[in-house]
Amino acid sequence: MKYGLEPLEILTLIDKSIFLDIFFFLMSALPAGVDCVGEADRAAELLRPLRLEILRLAQRPVSATELGARLGLSRQRINYHLRRLASSGFLRRAGRRRRRNMIEQRYVAAARGFLLSPELLGSIGADWRRIEDAGSAAYLLALCAQMQSDLIRAWRGASKEGKRVSTLSLKSQFRFETPAQRDAFTRAIRDAVVDVIARHTSPNVRPDSRPAPGRPYRLVLGCYPYALQAEPKK
């Protein structure tokens, strides 16, 4: 081999900390998916402005020193929050690197996004069945909370069995120029959805109110005005 060195001899010349950093960079995937936070103690660990900022900056591997420089805080203070986030599963180790005379641990966010489960609020959470006006924003918000709770439970159950959850997502953005246009759209889409359900699904319950055969699905269709958001910080 060139230079008369065997492969193992070459490896002994590589700084171990550099090797580990390269190894973890290659082997550790970047954050993926969504972490659904349904435990009160984990939510309490997460909901602090500094920790939210740390997670935003940790979408790529980062050390306490790097975070401290960006946030204007001491490495010791950042290290405390890194350890708490890691112990709660919000961060994971992402290799080490040598910095001057010390070896730094690097961390990366365990997910690309985090979601607080509506079930954290228990019995005081929004319940669509308690809201009389089905055309109100409150009703749609409560339905969205129900949808999140349903999907989180199904997702966790499927994950334990190594399966995926079959879902359907439709998103479209448009404008109504007049109330009459909006009302016509509402009638047309309601009639279309009712027709598709009648032709392509089975009843949810039997005549005696017992659950019917098959796996139950819930369809939530919402339409609402929205305001444009400012671009997120980078």
* pTM assigned to the model: 0.75
Tokens of 82: 């890194």
Q: Kindly report, residue by residue over 174-229, the tens digit of the pLDDT.
A: 999 999 999 999 999 999 999 999 999 999 999 999 999 999 999 999 999 998 87
Domains and CATH numbers, the chain: 2-115 (1.10.10.10), 117-200 (no CATH)
Give per-residue burial for 68-97: e unless 16+ CB within 10 Å, then b. beeeeeebeebbebbebbeebebbbebbbb
